[in-house]
Structures are given as structure tokens and as C-alpha cells.
Amino acid sequence: MCISLERDVEEAIEYLSLKDKIREEAIKASREILRYSTEATRLVHAGLYEEALSNIKKASEVYSRTTAQLAEHPDIMYSGILLGSVVEFVEAYVTYYVIREGRIPSRREIGVDPVSYLLGLGDVVGELKRHVLDLLLKNRVEEAERIAAVMNDIYNNLRQVNFPDALLPGFRHKVDTARRLVESVLELIIYSKNTQIIARRVAG
């Protein structure tokens, strides 16, 4: 038997065993990030902001720890294992700060890669529409207008980005959806303002 072949196969098994272990750890971390992020978004809409921020911080800690562990394994880092959960993390992070502070956090503040940031921003528009609807139901039209302006700002920036799905998977669909959401929200706000005007005239 060829000794060098046996050694090479053994080294390959050892190498792949390590990769498999790291991959499984990355999958577990991805699930944690996803769980914390989706819960954070739910808590934001429920008005439970301290709890939401706590979940965002937990997701951030898991993400930072995982990316540090994967620094020497870029093949796993960029395999797509983390993408979906990190997009959810961006969505939760940005939604929280838009609603609480009226600002859009930068990519560097969140600490994520450009692809995850853009894809996450695309999903934020839908979460902000949900918040606008809640505000309009409470007749808080001015606040709804401020959130709608942020939605429009996000859309106008995202529509400048034009790359194939191989680089930004599903991005064009997100932008098209964002456009429709912004248009529908602006129509709802106009309707709400007109309704208020009519109600005041009737009351007066």
C-alpha cells in the first residue's frame, strides 16, 4: 500500500472533520441569531423596547463571536450559512432604531457585510409599513408621515443599486416590493389626512 496516499487520505479526513465541526457550530449560531432577531422585531411592534434591545444585543454578540471564529474559514463564512439570519438581524436592528430614534443605523455601526446590510434594509420597509398602520389606527398621522419619509429614503437609496442575483440574491424583488409598500403607505396617509379634515369640518 502507498504510504503517502494513506497519509494524504488521513489528513483529508482530519481536515474535513474540522470543517464539518466548524460548519455545524456556524449553523447553530445562525439559528441563535435568527431567533433573537425575529423576537426583537416582534417585541418592537409590541412596544416592548427594552426587551427588543436586549435581544438585538444578544444577536450581535453571537454574530461577533461567530465571525471571529470563522475568520480563518472564509469558505464557511461566505457559504451562505449565516446570510439569512444576518439579514434578519439587520432588519431588527434598523427597525428598532428607526422607530425609537428616527434614524437609520449605518452598516459599520451594525458591523455586518454590505450584502447583508442591503438585503436587510430591503426588508425593513415592510416592518415600517406595519408600524405606520399602527400609528394611523391611533390617528398619529404626523408620526406616520415621519416613518413614511424614512421608508421613502430607504427605497430611493436602494433603487440606485443594480447588481445580479449572484451578488445580491433576491434584491431586485425586495426593491420592487419596497416601492409598492411606499406608494401604498403614502396613499393611506393622504386618505387619513383627508378623513381628519372632513371630520373637523363636520364637527365645526
Name which CATH class applies to 1-106: mainly alpha
Stretch among 11-20, 175-184, 187-196 having the lowest mean pLDDT: 187-196
Distance CA 84, CA 137 (A): 32
Average pLDDT over residues 5-14: 89
pLDDT of residue 51: 98
- Which of 203 and 90 is assigned the larger pLDDT? 90
Assigned fold of 113-204:
Methane Monooxygenase Hydroxylase; Chain G, domain 1 (1.20.58)
90-147 residue pLDDT tens: 999 999 999 999 999 999 999 999 999 999 999 999 999 999 999 999 999 999 999 9
What's the start-to-end Cα distance of the chain, in Å?
100
CB atoms within 10 A of CB 132: 27
pLDDT of residue 2: 73
pLDDT of residue 3: 77
- Does residue 203 register a pLDDT over 90? no
Split at pLDDT 50, 70, 90, the class of 195 is confident
60-86 residue pLDDT tens: 999 999 999 999 899 998 889 999 999
Task: Return the domain boundaries, the chain.
Answer: 1-106, 113-204
Distance CA 77, CA 108 (A): 18
pTM over 0.85: yes
18-36 residue pLDDT tens: 999 999 999 999 999 999 9
Split at pLDDT 50, 70, 90, the class of 153 is very high
Task: List all residues 6 or more positions away from 31 whose beta carbon is below 8 Å from its beta carbon.
Answer: 85
Domain 1-106 and domain 113-204 have a common topology: yes
Phi, psi at residue 38, to the nearest 5°?
A: -65, -35
